[in-house]
Chains A and B, each alone.
Chain A
Amino acid sequence: MKFYTELIKGLWKENPIFRLVLGMCPTLAVTTSLENGLGMGLASTFVLVCSNIVISSVRNLIPAKVRIPCFIVIIATFVTIVDLVMAGFAPALHKNLGLFIPLIVVNCVILGRAEAFASKNSVFLSIADGIGMGLGFTLGLAGLGAVREILGAGSLTVWGNLKFVIPGYEPMILMILAPGGFIALGIILGLMNHIQAVGARRKGTALPTPVHLDCRHCTICKFGA
């Protein structure tokens, strides 16, 4: 049962983009279309699951003081392996995703999950966490990409040649440029907070505090203490 909880928490409750607000750099940079968002999300999911497995299995061997450099080396190694293998054996896929792979190294979601989850939990639960967080990240990126592509380009490219065009729509080019990323992200974040607040009010409970979020590593507020 715990496996299931860890698996689904990334989809809404602890969504890495909209709830943990991690990985903003790739989020704002690649979500200019649905296809880009999906590609970045899936590549990140793969690296996240691999790095979670390795880090949770060596978590007792790594001294706490050097854990961050160790995690970075492990993650960078995986990213490079993915990049090389994909370039060599799946060049078509690499052409679509190649741009995003090096970006994964600097993706806070992966280092964040290594630090906050994989270094404290078993391999089994870390796999669930990796898959859930990865899918949550993918969903967030794809949703944001779809909104920006529809508004900014007037079309929706699902994958490859599968493309829908909205006839007679004058695209708002702003939406696929950097400011559009901030605007779309802000509106979606606001909507999600609103939905959560309304849901809490209907149930008659107070708006949940971020205690259930994994913010132990952060010392700015004392919620996790």
Chain B
Amino acid sequence: MKEIIKLTSVLTLICLISGALLAAVSSVTKAPIEKAAMAGKRKAIDKVLPAKEGVKFDVEPLDIIDNDQTWTFYVARDQGKFVGAAVEASSDKGYSGEVKIMVGINAENNVQAIAIVAQSETPGLGARMVEPSFKDQFKNKNINTTKWAVKKDQGDIDQITAATISSRAVVDAVKAGIDVFTKHKAEIIK
């Protein structure tokens, strides 16, 4: 009996100390982590929005509700005139886990660029979606006339060799973002 009390109290004490330590660390790092996440997002937005003479426009977030889902568009304006919008979209059709992308659409109804925000596809195969040779083919594609599917599915996007599923997931996410943009265009560009 005495032993049980001793063992329990030692274990409890260690867990208490650990818990207190973690709470303290978490309270210190909470704000910087959020700031870093925001900075990361801002970087992805900058990558996919048009720039004038290398200068990035300020963006304002705009929440659009579509089918009970909230999509945050980051809208860039030049002296009040719409120049582009970026939106984060994701697809769960990837080979392992969610594929998250950021797609930027400019005032000419073209895709400005896409950025891969998060993915956990197979290294050397699906993970090659982050390489420019795949990513850059989305650039300057018209959002209305392009067939948003991989070539294997009679679309306009070249899939990555041996990684059709991952390629499909990217196209799927891009298409989802574009669809919401097209549907709510008036509201976004006003």
Residues of A within 8 A of B (CB): 32-33, 36, 61-63, 65-66, 69-70, 73-74, 76-77, 80-81, 84-85, 87-89, 91, 94-95, 99, 152-153, 171, 173, 176-177
Question: By the criterion CB–CB under 8 Å, are A77 and B125 in contact?
Answer: no
Are A70 and B11 CB-contacts (below 8 A) given A33-B123, A63-B6, A176-B124?
Answer: yes
Question: By the criterion CB–CB under 8 Å, are A70 and B14 in contact?
Answer: yes
Given B21, B40, B125, which contacts A173 in the complex, CB threshold below 8 Å? B125
List of A residues within 8 angstroms of B7 by Cβ:
63, 65-66
Nearest CB of chain B from residue A84's CB, rounded to whole Å? 4
Question: By the criterion CB–CB under 8 Å, are B18 and A87 in contact?
Answer: no
In the bound complex, what is the Cα–Cα distance between A99 and B31 (angstroms)?
21
Question: By the criterion CB–CB under 8 Å, are B125 and A85 in contact?
Answer: no
Question: By the criterion CB–CB under 8 Å, are B11 and A88 in contact?
Answer: no
Q: Number of B residues whose C-beta is below 8 Å from A?
A: 27
Q: Is B55 close to A, CB under 8 A?
A: no
Question: By the criterion CB–CB under 8 Å, are A73 and B15 in contact?
Answer: yes
Question: By the criterion CB–CB under 8 Å, are A152 and B18 in contact?
Answer: no
In the bound complex, what is the Cα–Cα distance between A85 and B30 (angstroms)?
9
Question: By the criterion CB–CB under 8 Å, are A85 and B123 in contact?
Answer: no
Given A66, A84, A99, which contacts B11 in the complex, CB threshold below 8 Å? A66
In the bound complex, what is the Cα–Cα distance between A65 and B3 (angstroms)?
10
In the bound complex, what is the Cα–Cα distance between A76 and B28 (angstroms)?
19
Nearest CB of chain B from residue A86's CB, rounded to whole Å? 9
Render B22-42 as a binary contact track against A, CB cut-off 8 A, 1 for contact.
100110111111001001100
Are A66 and B22 CB-contacts (below 8 A) given A88-B33, A89-B32, A91-B39?
Answer: no
Given B10, B22, B39, B123, which contacts A32 in the complex, CB threshold below 8 Å? B123
List of A residues within 8 angstroms of B31 by Cβ:
88
Known: A63-B6, A65-B7, A84-B33. 15 other contacts (CB 8 A): A62-B10, A62-B14, A65-B3, A70-B11, A73-B18, A80-B22, A80-B25, A84-B22, A84-B25, A88-B29, A88-B36, A152-B124, A171-B124, A173-B124, A173-B162
Nearest CB of chain B from residue A185's CB, rounded to whole Å? 17
List of A residues within 8 angstroms of B14 by Cβ:
62, 70, 73-74
In the bound complex, what is the Cα–Cα distance between A220 and B148 (angstroms)?
59
Given B6, B10, B15, B29, which contacts A87 in the complex, CB threshold below 8 Å? B29
